[in-house]
Every structure is written in structure tokens, then in C-alpha cells.
């Protein structure tokens, strides 16, 4: 019997995203700062059309594929504005990226029953390497504060150390807009 090794792409998908992405209701999903598109492809496999946004054209070339519309936008450029309408997305996914000025407009782009999946580095990560600049590290409880300030309901939140894919301090949140039905938030069995 031949054993097939899992692909690097499959292994690279965030466990947090893999766990919570099935909660995203039907509709378009934004993969913000998508990189090479590993999460965009996973979301397409779940049946979602995806907008994969990044500032790097080489990464967007790698991210392109069936069901994925790429969008070349540098949201950190001087004078940059959020390019999406309020209420547009069933889900927004962000991993390993933080640009605080985007938060309000990003959350506004979630549909009334939309899901936000966000995972990035937290203060203290500097002991493990980059990122180490406080500008790119979440303060203690910062994601929870965002959720409250923007009227989101928290389904799941974690703040601590991970070992994979490398040792790091992270915060992660799965938060939903007010119209997301509580019965649809299927929680894991421990």
C-alpha cells in the first residue's frame, strides 16, 4: 500500500482557520493580505468565492485560481482607502497581518451575519523573532477590545504561545456580526 504524504499547502493552512471557516455563511469571502493564497484556496474548497487581496503582485500570481479574484491593493500606502462596501462579505480572514487603521472599515464590510477570522502576532513575540516591532504586535486583549468596540459577538478567542508552524505568541479570534444565529456557532467537543 502506498502512503501519500500531505502537501505543504495543506499543512500550511492555519488550524484556527480550518476549525472556524465552516461557520462562514454562504457568500463571498475576503482573504486580506492573502500571500500565496493558501487560505483563499481552502475557502474556495468550502464553496466560497474569494477576493484575495495583497500588495505583492508576485504573491497574487501564486494566489490566483478558480473561484479566486485577486486584488492588488496597498492598503498601507499614503492616502489608501478601504476599497470595499459595507456589508459585502460573508467572511473576512486575516492571518499574520496587522494594520490597525483598517479595522473599522474592515469590520463594516462584514455582512450582518458575517464571520471574522483573525489570527496574528502578539506582544512578547519578539522573544521568538519577527515580527518584533510593537506596531505589528497586538496588545494584551486587543482583539477582544476590537470585538466589543465594533459590536461583534465572540465565538472563540485565544491568546498565548503556539509551536507550529514556528514558536510565536499570537491572538486569534472568531467573531460574528449580530445577525449570525447562535445555533450556527457549532463549538468543538473536548
Averaged over successive runs of 10 residues, the pLDDT of the chain (190 residues) comes to: 37 88 97 95 97 96 95 92 96 93 94 96 80 82 92 94 80 95 85
Q: Give the model's pLDDT for residue 167.
A: 76
Whole-model pTM?
Answer: 0.90
The answer to whether residue 190 sits within a structural domain is: no
Residue written as grid cell 479595522: 103
β-strand pairing of 29-32 with 89-95: parallel
**If you average pLDDT over every residue of the chain, what do you get?**
89
The answer to whether residue 7 sits within a structural domain is: no
CATH value at residue 166: 3.40.50.150
The answer to whether residue 188 sits within a structural domain is: no
The answer to whether residue 1 sits within a structural domain is: no
Cβ 94 vs Cβ 40: under 8 Å:
no
Q: DSSP for 87-156, please give it.
A: T-EEEEEEES---GGGHHHHHHTEEEEEEEEEEEEBTTGGGGSS---GGGSBPTTHHHHHHHHTTPEEEE
Comparing CA positions, the residue from 101, 120, 100, 102 lying closest to residue 35 is 120
Q: Give the model's pLDDT for residue 163.
A: 80
Q: Give the model's pLDDT for residue 165.
A: 78
The answer to whether residue 5 sits within a structural domain is: no
The answer to whether residue 4 sits within a structural domain is: no
**29-32 sheet: strands from edge to edge:** 68-72, 50-54, 29-32, 89-95, 110-121, 168-176, 153-162
Taking the CA atoms of the chain, what radius of gyration do you get in angstroms?
16
Expressed as residue numbers, the domain containing 94 is 15-181
**Total domains present in the chain:** 1
Q: Give the model's pLDDT for residue 51.
A: 97
Amino acid at each position: 500500500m502506498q502512503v501519500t504524504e500531505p502537501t505543504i499547502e495543506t499543512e500550511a493552512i492555519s488550524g484556527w482557520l480550518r476549525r472556524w471557516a465552516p461557520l462562514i455563511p454562504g457568500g463571498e469571502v475576503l482573504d486580506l493580505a492573502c500571500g500565496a493564497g493558501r487560505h483563499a484556496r481552502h475557502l474556495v474548497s468550502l464553496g466560497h468565492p474569494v477576493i484575495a487581496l495583497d500588495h505583492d503582485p508576485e504573491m497574487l500570481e501564486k494566489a490566483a485560481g478558480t473561484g479566486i479574484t485577486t486584488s492588488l491593493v496597498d492598503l498601507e500606502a499614503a492616502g489608501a482607502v478601504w476599497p470595499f462596501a459595507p456589508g459585502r462579505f460573508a467572511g473576512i480572514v486575516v492571518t499574520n497581518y496587522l494594520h490597525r487603521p483598517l479595522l473599522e472599515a474592515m469590520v463594516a464590510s462584514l455582512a450582518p451575519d458575517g464571520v471574522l477570522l483573525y489570527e496574528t502576532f502578539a506582544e512578547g513575540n519578539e522573544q521568538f523573532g519577527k515580527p518584533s516591532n510593537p506596531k505589528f504586535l497586538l496588545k494584551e486583549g486587543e482583539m477582544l477590545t476590537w470585538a466589543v468596540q465594533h459590536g461583534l459577538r465572540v465565538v472563540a478567542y485565544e491568546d498565548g504561545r503556539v509551536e507550529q508552524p514556528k514558536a510565536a505568541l499570537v491572538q486569534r479570534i472568531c467573531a460574528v456580526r449580530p445577525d449570525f444565529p447562535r445555533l450556527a456557532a457549532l463549538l468543538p467537543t473536548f
